[in-house]
């Protein structure tokens, strides 16, 4: 009792700042009505406890705020006040992909917040354990977080610290939940102890690093980093030092996703590339556009429909639609100007040089006269209104053109669906019709594939026309009509975007060829694959060159060589020397290895020479002696 009275006297005599730190160091066992069970985690700015709500009988997570002792008292007071405002703002958020806040208060002057306890794994732990996540899982997690961002941004709340460590995966529902809306971290956007912007190094946007005003596009940049990590298992900007990391982030220098994971879907790559742009005016415009792009990557129809419905709810009203169209048009203008700006600079450089050296007195006189006449007739406010009206008129014209274009596309889509339904196909979009056609082609159903191809080829949409022609060519290939298929693929090659379309169908082409590789391929089929199907960089084709079966490897070599690719023949000839069934082939392989002059052949030739039962033993001895000077 005497000790307690002594401590109370010390506390009564201490400053409020010291009271705060004393109570943080001597934690109570309850916060409000919540009883602490165990410590879940601890950081520089606070602690998180697993606690129990005795009234409702459920577990909650209680986050308790703490700060550095060396923090200035004025900043500390402002921090505590802003923490309350932040808690109130977060309490407005109600979304299945955002960790819910239940309660907030103070315990002995120490602020705390009670929020939903998510029993599960953090995304950063999941990435560390699995490295590269499956694409369908990535799309599901990305969709959940994008929907959470859409909801938060709609409430004018910017997270400012989106990263895998702030994303929780619920064990039961597998829903990804966004947490930590500036609660444990300082809620300031520009005020910190050392004057730098708040955020996690490596996940800060360029504008955060430059200490500029932060808006929703900063969250989109951070989201792009998290998506890159899910796809590749590595961080795009992380370097040895914070300064180097910031430099890489500002310059957006990162290894392309395709180089780290070659089979990444093009749509996911595009989301990463459009998110990780240094100029925020050229990024994905908002979370609504982000949700639409992610929905296009989803194969899970219920989740895709749910995400599209959330996006549609967010853009209800003509104001939201006009704002979206205006933002898209403005981004297009900025992107166009960024591309032509260097050219304009080079073209105008001579004129600028002459102006600086000699000036243009005539032009200056004309400008001054015109501007003077305008100033006499109109006030500055009227001039400003006139300029604004002119810009607005141009924007309206651009939007009308966009609406007309969208209307034409919508009309073409309706015509396509109507034509499909007349043929007995119940589809809601052209994409579904393309998927049906691909299914027929996979089964080599010529009748069904030709029917779908005819509908697609009659569309005004260039992409659908391309797939219609492509399916016709693939059907001819299935039927063994290789010359007809080559002619059809030649027609496909005249259409825009054919290379990407053909590459997307590579799994079909490889599967078809794989069933025929163990015998010599007809010249027409070899020529078709080499000249029309872009096989020069296909990884499976390159892998076949190392197959032990003679015809598998030499069919692959012929296709790659005819397509213009360079093939390393030494490993292929070594396989001939070791495994070919024909003695003549083995002898010829030994001679060709000698002709290459490549010293990698010496071990295989030596083994053949030393094996007296090898049909190429004497040839190998002669080649080693004459070509490599090996006795």
- Is there a shared CATH topology between the 2-116 domain and the 568-631 domain? no
Q: Which two tokens stand for residue 322?
A: 């006009």
Res 590: pLDDT = 92
∠ CA 230-181-83, nearest 5°, is: 155
∠ CA 7-13-17, nearest 5°, is: 95
Q: Of 53-57, 369-373, 510-514, 550-554, where does mean pLDDT reach its minimum?
A: 369-373
The pLDDT of 136-154, averaged and rounded, is 92
With bands split at pLDDT 50, 70 and 90, how would you rate the model's confidence at 290?
A: very high
A 10 A CB-CB count for 122 gives 18
Res 43: pLDDT = 65
CA distance 530 to 143: 39
Res 322: pLDDT = 62
Residues in Cβ contact with 452 at an 8 Å cutoff, skipping those fewer than 6 apart: 425, 433, 436, 437, 440, 468, 471
The pLDDT of 116-132, averaged and rounded, is 91
CATH code 3.40.1190.20 for 2-116: no
The pLDDT of 38-63, averaged and rounded, is 85
The pLDDT of 370-387, averaged and rounded, is 70
Q: Counting Cβ atoms within 10 Å, is residue 442 exposed (0-12), middle (13-18) or buried (19+)?
A: middle
CATH code for the structural domain at 120-316: 1.10.510.10
The pLDDT of 461-474, averaged and rounded, is 87
Res 437: pLDDT = 85
With bands split at pLDDT 50, 70 and 90, how would you rate the model's confidence at 175?
A: very high
Quick: pLDDT tens for 555-592. Answer: 999 999 998 888 999 999 999 999 888 899 999 999 99
Mean per-residue pLDDT of the chain? 80
Residues in Cβ contact with 615 at an 8 Å cutoff, skipping those fewer than 6 apart: 583, 586, 587
Res 232: pLDDT = 94
With bands split at pLDDT 50, 70 and 90, how would you rate the model's confidence at 426?
A: confident
Tell me whether residue 161 is one of the annotated catalytic residues: yes
CA distance 506 to 258: 16
With bands split at pLDDT 50, 70 and 90, how would you rate the model's confidence at 600?
A: very high
Name the 3-class secondary structure at 35: strand
CA distance 204 to 198: 8
Quick: pLDDT tens for 436-448. Answer: 888 888 888 888 8
Res 423: pLDDT = 77
The residue length of the chain stands at: 631
With bands split at pLDDT 50, 70 and 90, how would you rate the model's confidence at 186?
A: very low
CA distance 605 to 631: 12
For the chain, domain boundaries: 2-116, 120-316, 568-631
pLDDT above 90 covers what percent of the chain? 28
Res 445: pLDDT = 84
Residues in Cβ contact with 461 at an 8 Å cutoff, skipping those fewer than 6 apart: 409, 412, 413, 416, 430
Q: Which of 68, 103, 136, 161 is catalytic?
A: 161
Quick: pLDDT tens for 207-233. Answer: 988 888 888 899 999 999 999 999 999
∠ CA 236-240-243, nearest 5°, is: 85
Beta bridge partners of 167: 178
pLDDT above 70 covers what percent of the chain? 76
The pLDDT of 382-408, averaged and rounded, is 70
With bands split at pLDDT 50, 70 and 90, how would you rate the model's confidence at 5?
A: very low
- CA distances (Å), 198 to each of 31, 64, 225, 624, in order? 27, 19, 17, 68
CA distance 546 to 542: 8
Secondary structure element (H or E) that encloses residue 112, with its range: strand 110-116
The pLDDT of 238-249, averaged and rounded, is 90
Q: Counting Cβ atoms within 10 Å, is residue 545 exposed (0-12), middle (13-18) or buried (19+)?
A: buried
In the sheet with 58-65, reading across from the earlier edge strand, the strands are: 30-31, 34-43, 46-53, 58-65, 110-116, 101-107
Q: How many CA atoms lie within 13 A of 550 on its CB side?
A: 13
* 9 vs 375 pLDDT, higher one: 375
Residues in Cβ contact with 150 at an 8 Å cutoff, skipping those fewer than 6 apart: 287, 288, 290, 291, 310, 311, 314
The pLDDT of 426-436, averaged and rounded, is 82
Quick: pLDDT tens for 480-501. Answer: 888 998 898 888 888 888 888 8
The pLDDT of 161-169, averaged and rounded, is 92
Q: Counting Cβ atoms within 10 Å, is residue 375 exposed (0-12), middle (13-18) or buried (19+)?
A: exposed
Quick: pLDDT tens for 330-378. Answer: 667 666 766 676 766 666 666 656 655 555 555 566 666 776 777 777 7
DSSP 197: P
With bands split at pLDDT 50, 70 and 90, how would you rate the model's confidence at 136?
A: very high
- CA distances (Å), 606 to each of 194, 592, 609, 630, in order? 69, 15, 5, 9
Compute the CA torsion angle 485, 490, 496, 501 (nearest 10 deg): 30
CATH code for the structural domain at 568-631: 1.25.10
The pLDDT of 190-204, averaged and rounded, is 57
């Amino acid at each position: 009792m005497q000790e307690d009275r002594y401590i109370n006297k010390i506390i009564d005599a201490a400053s409020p700042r010291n009271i705060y730190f004393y109570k943080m160091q001597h934690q109570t066992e309850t916060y409000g009505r919540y009883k602490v069970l165990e410590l879940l985690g601890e950081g520089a700015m606070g602690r998180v406890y697993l606690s129990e709500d005795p009234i409702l009988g459920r577990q909650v997570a209680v986050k308790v705020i703490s700060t550095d002792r060396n923090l200035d008292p004025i900043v500390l007071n402002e921090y505590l006040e802003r923490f309350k405002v932040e808690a109130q703002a977060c309490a407005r958020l109600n979304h299945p992909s955002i960790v819910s806040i239940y309660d907030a208060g103070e315990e002995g002057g120490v602020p705390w917040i009670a929020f939903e306890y998510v029993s599960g794994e953090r995304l950063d732990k999941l990435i560390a354990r699995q490295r590269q996540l499956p694409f369908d899982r990535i799309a599901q997690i990305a969709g959940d977080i994008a929907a959470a961002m859409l909801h938060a941004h709609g409430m004018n709340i910017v997270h400012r610290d989106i990263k895998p460590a702030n994303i929780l995966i619920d064990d039961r529902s597998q829903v990804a939940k966004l947490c930590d809306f500036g609660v444990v971290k300082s809620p300031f956007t520009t005020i910190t102890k050392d004057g730098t912007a708040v955020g996690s190094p490596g996940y800060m946007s360029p504008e955060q690093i430059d200490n500029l005003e932060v808006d929703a596009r900063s969250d989109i940049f951070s989201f792009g980093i998290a998506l890159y990590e899910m796809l590749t298992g590595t961080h795009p900007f992380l370097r040895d030092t914070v300064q180097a990391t910031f430099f890489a982030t500002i310059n957006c220098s990162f290894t392309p996703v395709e180089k780290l994971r070659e089979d990444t879907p093009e749509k996911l790559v595009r989301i990463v590339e459009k998110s990780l742009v240094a100029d925020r005016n050229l990024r994905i415009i908002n979370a609504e556009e982000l949700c639409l792009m992610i929905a296009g990557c989803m194969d899970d129809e219920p989740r895709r429909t749910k995400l599209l419905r959330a996006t549609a709810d967010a853009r209800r009203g003509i104001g939201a639609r006009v704002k979206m169209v205006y933002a898209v048009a403005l981004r297009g203008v900025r992107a166009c100007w960024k591309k032509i700006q260097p050219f304009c600079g080079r073209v105008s450089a001579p004129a600028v040089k002459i102006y600086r050296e000699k000036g243009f007195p005539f032009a200056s006189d004309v400008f001054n006269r015109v501007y003077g006449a305008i100033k006499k007739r109109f006030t500055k406010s009227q001039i400003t209104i006139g300029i604004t009206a002119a810009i607005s008129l141009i924007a309206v014209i651009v939007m009308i053109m966009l609406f007309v274009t969208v209307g034409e596309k919508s009309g073409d889509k309706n015509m396509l669906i109507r034509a499909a339904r007349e043929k007995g196909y119940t589809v809601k979009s052209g994409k579904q019709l393309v998927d049906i056609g691909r299914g027929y082609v996979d089964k080599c159903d010529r009748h069904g594939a030709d029917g779908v191809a005819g509908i697609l080829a009659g569309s005004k949409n260039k992409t659908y026309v391309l797939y219609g022609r492509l399916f016709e060519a693939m059907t001819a290939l299935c039927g063994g009509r290789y010359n007809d298929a080559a002619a059809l693929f030649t027609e496909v090659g005249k259409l825009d975007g054919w290379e990407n379309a053909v590459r997307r169908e590579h799994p079909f082409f490889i599967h078809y060829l794989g069933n025929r590789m163990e015998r010599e391929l007809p010249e027409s089929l070899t020529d078709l694959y080499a000249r029309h199907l872009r096989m020069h960089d296909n990884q499976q084709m390159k892998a076949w060159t190392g197959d032990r079966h003679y015809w598998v490897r030499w069919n692959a070599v012929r296709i790659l060589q005819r397509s213009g690719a360079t093939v390393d023949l030494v490993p292929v000839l070594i396989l001939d020397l070791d495994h070919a069934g024909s003695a003549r082939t083995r002898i010829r392989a030994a001679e060709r290895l000698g002709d290459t002059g490549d010293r990698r052949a010496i071990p295989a030739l030596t083994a053949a020479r030393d094996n007296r039962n090898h049909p190429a033993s004497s040839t190998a001895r002669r080649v080693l002696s004459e070509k490599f000077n090996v006795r």
